[in-house]
Structure 1
Amino acid sequence: MTREEQKEERKKAILMTALTLFVEKGYHETKVADIAAAVPMSTGLMFHYFKSKEELLMALVVMGKEFTKATAGGDNIPPDVFLKGMLDELFLYAQKDPFVANMFVLMAQARRAGMPEDVRKVAMSVSSVDDTAKLIKKGQKEGIFRKGNPKLLALCFWSAFQGIMEEMTIDKKLGVPDSEWLLSILKGN
């Protein structure tokens, strides 16, 4: 392994460790020394990779924002088929790797008051609800989804998903639901 590959591996280990600790302990309760000890590395060496805990949080939130771009699209796919496929993939990945559930939880935490304002701004710019509302509106026109405010329906849909991800971070053995259960929020069956 080259020196550059080793550096990237260490950076990834810091990010994944911080993600887990931020979700389990909370951002404010997690100390830089906690992250360094869990990696393991010295605190001084960790500052070589990230200048501050806030910079580390920002890197994770930017990563999470990129991750949520999967919610956009589906232009040439029936909305229910697109959303089912997206849910199936997310649930599959969440079962294989705690990163997925942890990232959803962290992104929700990052939106809350009291988080660093620049981080919060990035987290608030995620458009999953708006992207899904567009799909719902299209599905309503096609008679696939129930009537109602598309944005509120999207919010119900994503809130249910978020709750499942939060439970998966608490109960590591928890299975995932059938994606049709979440789609029934939109279909009304």
Structure 2
Amino acid sequence: MNSRQQQKEQRRQLILQTALDLFIRKGYGETKIADIAKAANMSMGLLFHYFESKEKLYEALIRIGSEKLKMELNFGTASPLTTFQYIAEDIFQTIRANPFAAKMFVLMENAQHLDTLPADIKEMLVEADKLITKSISLIEEGQRLNEIRDGNPQALAIAFWNSLQGIAQHIALHPEVPCPEAEWIIAILKK
């Protein structure tokens, strides 16, 4: 990548990060494109060169978050409980190392409550629910192996994923707080 392309990508990332910060602090409706341009220290014309509207910028962020949610829950020969351990460790490592990732949890949660989003963006948000659904069979397998506690598999999946969601959101809004250990979250599932 040449230096001009690198500069364009850096500006694009700056716009995304700036918009993400404003969207999670002020909300989608209260954030104006002028606010984003000002916070990114660029003209609105330059910002429009990268994103044609606030909606397209928001959509780009939702697309990034949705892609991350398309994770596979298959870790080869790992047991179901070990798979959940890997997931929790990976998410915690990511949000510790990258504040953008933690903030994406806030954005994705907030976006699910917006009635004004276009249908295609709402469809992208369905990926979060798919993670819970995909987890159910893994939890059932762990219960059969006697490594995951008894209980409703869907309720256990909800408890696991929403614990991760809540922790990521808290860290996004309070980056100075310590991140819990993954094993504490695994205790929700462990028999």
The answer, yes or no, to whether TM exceeds 0.5 is: yes
Closer/same/farther in 2, CA of residues 160 and 176 from structure 1, 3 Å limit: same
Work out the CA distance in 2 between the residues paired with 1:24 and 1:71.
31
1:178 offset after TM fit, Å?
1.4
1:155 offset after TM fit, Å?
0.8
Q: Is the 8 A contact 2:105 2:165 kept in 1?
A: yes
**Number of matched residues?**
188
Work out the CA distance in 2 between the residues paired with 1:62 and 1:78.
31
Work out the CA distance in 2 between the residues paired with 1:18 and 1:69.
23
1:64 offset after TM fit, Å?
0.7
Closer/same/farther in 2, CA of residues 47 and 112 from structure 1, 3 Å limit: same
* Structural mapping, 1:1-189, within 5 Å: 1-117=2-118, 118-126=120-128, 127-188=130-191
The normalised TM-score by structure 2 is 0.91
Q: Which amino acid aligns with 1:177?
A: P
CA-atom RMSD, angstroms? 1.6
4+ residue runs over 4 A deviation: none
1:139 offset after TM fit, Å?
0.8
1:115 offset after TM fit, Å?
4.0
The normalised TM-score by structure 1 is 0.91
Closer/same/farther in 2, CA of residues 175 and 22 from structure 1, 3 Å limit: same
What does the per-residue CA deviation read over 1:36-75, in whole Å, with 9 as the maximum and x for residues that have no partner?
1111111121111111111111111111111123353224
Q: Is the 8 A contact 2:69 2:127 kept in 1?
A: no
Unpaired segments ≥5 residues, structure 1:
none
Q: Is the 8 A contact 1:57 1:119 kept in 2?
A: no
Identity of aligned residues (%): 39
